[in-house]
Structure 1
């Protein structure tokens, strides 16, 4: 039977998300980097008292309530903010608007696999440039590639490392295309590249409420860039891409920075404790990680795939990638201290 799809879609391999068991399933879920703590009470209160009129009417096309909250928190004008259905929609819009077979998508590897998936859907030419030793950003090679869109996840997944702001500044200055700094995990990091948006018209910062704000199920993200850059993206977004509930709940969560920061501080403290415990079991754990997860190398007498399955059999989910260079590693989301202790006990038994 002939394919109904474009050749690029037929040929591509779709993005495979981490396993998502149904709510209430008795598992310890440490595989998709959700925040282990509940959302802001302010956000929950909005959800519980929502007027049904918000459901009857279309939402505002630009999610103005949420844009106003972001504007207040980050001290940027509202027209420097674009709100999207998760940060993944923003990444998709950037590829759709800017890349094709002659205008490449460029990124260092290993990194977020969705960048490649989005380019393949377009289809657009892809240039993957390996990270240098010690996860240093290959700035010169990225500049030489001159991507229409250059993606830098900082902090990066799966490594957990942040790119120095000086390197990102050098990269932005050397590119003729757009530099996308994907800061999905920035709430667990020590610094942000937000200042580059004010310095360069070709830089856009991508953010999400899925990690630091404990709202992965809400599907809400946003981009920060100068209005001239955002204008092209507004042309191709869906008319009402963010629903009214997400807009209102997200705005409440955004304004409650104190709660978000307190939860992030607990995650960072647990991250350090978990790293020490994993090292004691013989895992190689990277230093100076800036995310809410750890990418660890299993002990020489262990097998990453077998450990992943053994943990799953015990009701603990972590992430295993069979990709080149990651076969002997597990990515483990930082849970609560109690969840992390159960993980350590299970790993000790399996090893």
Structure 2
């Protein structure tokens, strides 16, 4: 017996990166968390929260956060829609825009939750292959004409970005919504906020999980013309952002100085880690995120992933097309990165020694 729709039975659910139990002694470089603490201002708000804030229902539109984000981004508060992580905004977009005959389009490989949410909604999806260097396949995305087109920039797992010119071309040539997922924008050199300001069919998605070190808080937001947000508001959960997240998130986004200092540390470590991986023989794509996609010189990245895990370091391995020979590695602290490179060197040296050792007769 089954209680579920046939399409739900047939689909695979999204599988998040491994989260070891609290207190586990492990170097965790698999889910792109920021290795540095959140803003002291945000932590101060958390410590001083009054019980009355918890007794009452929260502001359904998270007004305090909208106002704080408005000041930082230079857009009116009613251009901002807040969610329980940016994944919540993704859900609203697909709920409001997609269904039978109204599908989703995105380039691949990318964030596979786009596919999962589309399947939950009972809509079709079109996956357009990235070029080998992860150049955005603009013409093919336009040709597909989705009700929603998702572009992650920087993209995960590649860390590569789409140019503002490419995104503007998409916005003008598709008939549906263009959702630009900027979860990792705090580590990039450019952003696409101006595209959302200019085109009514564009929404920018951002999160406090990465640049602001608040992955455990679950707070994200979208920026778009209020006319586009109006339809999304109709399908959002009534109180989708809790009072704690709203208050702490408002303090965090206001503290741009703290966020920017940590982002600069990560960008410097990213460059150093990429150089070290290349010295070990890896091919590494140029990244503008807080992670690197590294192609394993031996081809079998799953072996390397398991070898690292056995020795207390977690990285991300994707058993899917075009990624089986690659690892996605989060940029950690300099000490964590050094430990990773040292262990990789030992593992690779061991593999080389095995391959050249004489066979006993």
TM range (shorter): over 0.9
Matched, 1:331 2:331: no
Once the two structures are superposed, the pairs formed by residues 201-220 of structure 1 within 5 Å of their partners are 201-220=200-219
Distance 1:218 1:99 in 2: 28
Distance 1:277 1:109 in 2: 27
Q: Paired residue for 2:344?
A: 347
Q: Paired residue for 1:295?
A: 293
Once the two structures are superposed, the pairs formed by residues 184-223 of structure 1 within 5 Å of their partners are 184-223=183-222
Distance 2:327 2:86 in 1: 24
Per-residue deviation, residues 136-184 of structure 1 (Å, max 9, x unmatched)? 1111111111100000000000111000100000000001100000000
Per-residue deviation, residues 44-97 of structure 1 (Å, max 9, x unmatched)? 001111111111111101000000000000011111000000000100111111
Distance 1:257 1:22 in 2: 31
Distance 1:24 1:276 in 2: 31
Matched, 1:81 2:83: no
Three-state SS of the structure 2 residue aligned to 1:320 is coil
Q: Paired residue for 2:277?
A: 278
Once the two structures are superposed, the pairs formed by residues 16-27 of structure 1 within 5 Å of their partners are 16-27=15-26
Three-state SS of the structure 1 residue aligned to 2:248 is helix
Three-state SS of the structure 1 residue aligned to 2:133 is helix
Once the two structures are superposed, the pairs formed by residues 119-138 of structure 1 within 5 Å of their partners are 119-138=118-137
Distance 1:324 1:136 in 2: 17
Q: Paired residue for 1:91?
A: 90
Q: Paired residue for 1:242?
A: 241
Distance 1:168 1:105 in 2: 17
Distance 2:46 2:21 in 1: 21
Q: Paired residue for 1:314?
A: 311
Q: Paired residue for 1:144?
A: 143
Distance 2:54 2:221 in 1: 22
Distance 2:67 2:183 in 1: 20
- 1:327 positional shift: 0.6
Distance 1:189 1:101 in 2: 36
- 1:99 positional shift: 0.7
Distance 1:7 1:132 in 2: 34
Once the two structures are superposed, the pairs formed by residues 32-181 of structure 1 within 5 Å of their partners are 32-181=31-180
Number of aligned positions between the proteins: 348
Distance 2:23 2:40 in 1: 21
Three-state SS of the structure 2 residue aligned to 1:319 is coil
Distance 2:344 2:135 in 1: 31
Q: 1:328 to 1:133 in 2, by over 3 A?
A: closer
Matched, 1:7 2:6: yes
Once the two structures are superposed, the pairs formed by residues 217-236 of structure 1 within 5 Å of their partners are 217-236=216-235
TM-score norm. by structure 1 comes to 0.98
- 1:306 positional shift: 1.0
TM-score norm. by structure 2 comes to 0.95
Q: Paired residue for 2:302?
A: 305
Which has more radius of gyration?
2
- 1:101 positional shift: 2.0
Distance 1:235 1:257 in 2: 31
Three-state SS of the structure 2 residue aligned to 1:218 is coil
Deviates more, 1:327-336 or 1:19-28: 19-28
Per-residue deviation, residues 179-226 of structure 1 (Å, max 9, x unmatched)? 000000000000110001111000000000000000000000000000
Contact persistence 1:8–1:122 (CA under 8 A): no
- 1:23 positional shift: 2.2
Unpaired stretches in structure 2, ≥5 consecutive residues: 349-361
Unpaired stretches in structure 1, ≥5 consecutive residues: none
